[in-house]
Structure 1
Amino acid sequence: MLHRIRQFFAPDRKSLASPDSDLRALFGASNPTAAGVNVGPGTALQVPAVSAAVRAISEAVATLDAKVMVGEDEAPEHPVAILLRDRANDWTCSFEFIRDIVASALLHDQGGLAWVNRVNGRPVEVIAYDPSRLTAQRHEDGTGAYRYFLNGREMPAADIIHLRSPFGRSPVSLARESIGLSITLEKHAAKLFGSGSRPAGMVSFKDRMTPAAIQQAAAAFRAMLESTKTGNTAFMDGGADYKQLVLSSVDAQFAELVAFQVLQIARAFRVPPQMLFDLTRATWSNSEQMGREFLTYTLEPWLRALEGALGLALFSADESRTHRVHFERDDLTRADLGQRATAYSSLISARVVNPNEVRAWEGLPAYEGGDAFANPNTGANQAGAAAPQDNAGNPGNEPPAPQPEGAA
């Protein structure tokens, strides 16, 4: 317990000689993008497309049930199962812990990190420290191993959960130019419309006018518009000419560029555009397909990596041979109620499954007689129905009864 208290209150001894991306962005030491802005995890989340992509992946992973499997059997009372199912520590539930560690891996180059607190070799809690407190550095021997530091002190690698992004760089780091351009475009649009830098129209005069005359004409023009009803024609004297300013083709290309940056960010995170609420090309037919692709090409790699990282740090050397962490994917592949009912009915009628198995899939209790493989659409095949008989009235599954001697 004293060791844990020291870890919480010990000063951060992180050196400025090896700053992370957050620290470089804070002091402006990182190389700015071509758009002239520094992109870090904090600034990237200010872009709606980035925050939507991070939430789509991290929250989808956290909603899945995490189980500890021993072979093909579940071990619900295992200490690791309790940490991943109920609460990671006294102040963090399991959902928040898994969501935060995946989100950290999406934002930070060093990945998502958490410390495993063990008592007598048994994991009792896992803590996802702030990325500035718990850091990872690639080992100098070139093997790909990492060294871990908590508040400046090196920690055993066996006590660290480390979820890494591909290539050793986060999607935010790889897409920093696209994110930087999105930030610049949003700032430009905010200044353009927020400060009124583009007037609604322009009044020009043929003759040269003094500033006082211009102000007097402008006041008279506004008074005339405010005193008349909407839709009436405005009259001006002194050879004045009014021109309404409209969006040009360059402005339209600006809007297209903003939409294109959303697609670029979606590509960086491998998230379908519809998951970022870009429904420009979404239809009834391709939306379902993109949902399946989100599970197959986006979530599945992260789930496999997270299962491996949790198993590597939470199980002992002996348990790692037989135990594994498994996230139940069925919740993401479930169809709607109508489609499930049609599929269940077909499977039961074909005697592939029985009603109690279907009820177990839906989380419902079994009922008596539901274990029989019977076709409910034909009375002769229902459970408890009388056996079929032949033309002589004999049961179809028994030989004919012997006839007495002399009978015809």
Structure 2
Amino acid sequence: MWPFPNKQAPIVEQKSLGDPTAELLELFGAMPVGTSISNAEALSVPAVSAAVRLISEAVASLDVKVKRKVGDIEEDAPDHPAASILTRQANEWTSGYELIRDLVAGALTKDVGGLAYVTRVSGEAREAIVYRDSIITVEFDQVTNEPRYRLSNQPVPASSIIHLRGVFSRCPLSMARDAISMAKAMEDYSNGLWTNGARPGGVIQTPNKLGTDGVKAMLAGWKAAFSGKANAGKTAVLYEGATYQQMALTSVDGQFNESRTFQVLEIARAFRCPPGMLFELSRNTWSNSEQQAKEFVTYCLIPWIRALESALNRALFKPEERSEYRVCFDVDDTSQADLTARATAISTLIAARVINPNEARDWLGMEARAGGNEYANPAIDVSPKLGTPTPANDNNPPPKQEAA
């Protein structure tokens, strides 16, 4: 019994083994030791942390807007509470950028996915909070796969939870755990190799029998003289007729760096990132780098963006608002770095009368200007104020000349 009747009893967190992590499986003997790697160890592999940061920060850096459909026209709705959560402050200590980044990072590194709780006032979303691991838990119905959420062991409605999950109900880090474990093992081996300078690069041969004590004394002296980075490169002095024979590198030693490079490629495949964006540039050229950037947007970012938009639409809008409002990420921002290509595309779209100048200025973050709502081709349509006739074409034949 709780001894203080005037105070609320603390909530006791109950953990479940219904969805055990790899660490728990190894702890209880369900997985052989050495085949598992914790999330913290996996993120210490540079290729893994680079992939997670690349995807999560790229999605969070995109321009996000709340759109409202009025008739056949869709317009921005910056005054909606969801827009404030996503573009300004998700809560008092988290920005909208950090909220989106942490949701995507959670979906990339945790099988349960990225989770956030939405606080509502009179049914409207006011803030979104990403709690620490195990504070928000989820269980799935065995028949319908319907999720049931708990916050600090108290049930909460699904409409109050932003839940971003990966495919197969597993995250990329979990599905690539073996490849990441091998990359980590190679990294540890390389670190030990260079830290311990007494690597057996050769064999000491002696014509005399040294015995156990003699061998130990020789090894102790060899390590004291040449082990460690400070003693690297010193000249070896042998005694009692001992000789030193250099050992040649094996094929495994020669291919060690290539093996480490291959593990970077495996990790890139798991996260669907171009290898060049993980700074593996051995096969990058000027032409395929641009193509890889396009494939990164099409095959990696957009699937996560669409899943995130659906999760946000489900949790940030009232049921009656979902047919009218939606969250939209502007993928066009990914081309901002290539200013020449962006300017050429905008100029071509204006000339083709697909967009008007004010729509193009909106893409660039500029204010509308007078007369910019007209769909006109600036290359052939000249303002009548200038007194210059419109050039002749098939739709505008030249005037007939009258005979003198």
Q: Normalising TM by the smaller chain, what interval? A: 0.7 to 0.9
Task: Indicate yes or no: 2:148 matched with 1:147.
Answer: yes
Asked if residue 295 in structure 1 is aligned to residue 297 in structure 2, the reply is: yes
1:135-155 per-position Cα deviation (integer Å, ceiling 9, x unaligned): 111123x11101111112221
What does residue 18 of structure 2 align with? Answer: 18
Whether 2:261 is the aligned partner of 1:259: answer yes
Paired letter, 1:132? S
**What residue in structure 1 maps to residue 274 of structure 2?**
272
SS at match of 1:341: helix
- Deviation for aligned residue 1:286: 0.6
What are the equivalent positions in structure 2 for 1:27-66 lying under 5 Å apart?
28-29=27-28, 31-32=30-31, 36-66=34-64
Distance 1:187 1:217, change over 3 A: closer
The one-letter code of the counterpart of 1:15 is K
User: Which amino acid counterpart does residue 165 of structure 1 have in structure 2?
Assistant: G
State the alpha-carbon separation in 2 of the partners of residues 321 and 197 from structure 1. 69
> What is the 5 A alignment of 1:72-83?
72-83=74-85
Secondary structure of the residue aligned to 1:38 is coil
Give the secondary-structure state (helix, strand or coil) at the position aligned to 1:321. Answer: coil
Please provide the CA RMSD for this pair: 3.6
Cα 1:125/1:344, change in 2 over 3 Å: closer
Give deviations 1:230-274, integer Å, cap 9, x for gaps: 99x999786543333453211123332222111111111111111
- Distance across 2 between alignment mates of 1:63 and 1:217: 58
1:242 to 237, 241, 244: 244
- Partner residue, 1:334: 336
2-structure distance, mates of 1:370, 1:311: 33
SS at match of 2:322: helix
Q: How many residues align?
A: 378
Structure 2 gap ranges (5+):
1-8, 392-396
Q: CA separation in 2, counterparts of 1:152 and 1:323?
A: 32
**Secondary structure of residue in 1 paired with 2:385:** coil
Structure-2-length-normalised TM-score: 0.81
Mapped partners of 1:357, 1:324: distance in 2: 20
Q: Taking structure 1 as reference, are residues 19 and 389 closer, same or farther at Cα in structure 2, changes over 3 Å only?
A: closer
Q: Distance in 1 between matches of 2:309 and 2:220?
A: 73
What CA distance in whole angstroms lies between the structure 2 residues aligned with 1:10 and 1:23? 28
Structure (1 or 2) with the larger CA radius of gyration: 1
**More off after superposition, 78-87 vs 271-280:** 271-280
Per-residue CA distance 1:255-301 (angstroms, 9 max, x = gap):
32222111111111111111211111111111111111111111111
Quickly say closer, same or farther: Cα 1:198–1:66, change in 2 above 3 A.
same
| Aligned partner letter, 2:28 | A
Conserved? CA contact 2:67–2:75, under 8 Å: yes
Q: Is the 8 A contact 2:35 2:178 kept in 1?
A: no
- Over 3 Å counting, the alpha-carbon distance change for 1:242 and 1:68 in structure 2 is same
Amino acid at match of 1:13: E
Could you tell me which residue of structure 2 aligns to residue 168 of structure 1?
169
Tell me if structure 2 keeps the 8 A contact 1:266–1:276.
yes
Task: Check whether the contact 1:86–1:94 (CA below 8 A) recurs between aligned residues.
Answer: yes
Q: What does residue 317 of structure 2 align with? A: 315
User: Structure 1 residue 174: deviation in Å?
Assistant: 1.3
Q: CA, structure 1 residues 371+65, in 2 after alignment: closer, same or farther (shift >3 Å)?
A: closer
Deviations 1:208-235 (A, max 9, x none): 457399589969x98xxx9xxx99x999
Distance (Å, rounded) in 2 between the aligned partners of 1:118 and 1:349:
47
Asked whether the equivalents of residues 66 and 325 of structure 2 are also in contact (C-alpha less than 8 Å), the reply is: yes
Of 75, 84, 87 in structure 1, the residue corresponding to residue 86 of structure 2 is 84
Report if the CA contact (8 A) 1:372-1:383 is conserved: no
> What CA deviation, in whole Å up to 9, does each residue of 1:36-67 have, x standing for no partner?
14223222212211111111111111111221
Name the counterpart of 1:405. Answer: none
1:173-223 CA deviation, whole Å, 9 max, x = no partner? 21121122222222222222222351454443344457399589969x98x
Q: 1:284 to 1:322 in 2, by over 3 A?
A: same
List gaps (5 residues or longer) in structure 1: 1-8, 391-395, 402-407
Map of 2:107 onto structure 1: 105
Report the 3-state secondary structure (helix = DSSP H, G, I; strand = E; otherwise coil) of the residue aligned with 1:117: strand
> Normalization by structure 1: what TM-score?
0.80
1:23–1:246: structure 2 CA closer, same or farther, 3 Å change rule? closer
Q: Quick one: which amino acid aligns to residue 198 of structure 1?
A: R
Per the alignment, in what secondary structure is the counterpart of residue 193 of structure 1?
A: helix
SS at structure 1 position matched to 2:255: helix
Letter in 1 for 2:341: Q
Tell me the distance in 2 between the aligned counterparts of 1:147 and 1:216. 63
How far apart are the structure 2 equivalents of 1:303 and 1:176?
A: 24
Structure 1 residues 338-393: Cα deviation after superposition (integer angstroms, max 9, x where no partner): 33334445555666655544433322334556566666667x93562214399xxx
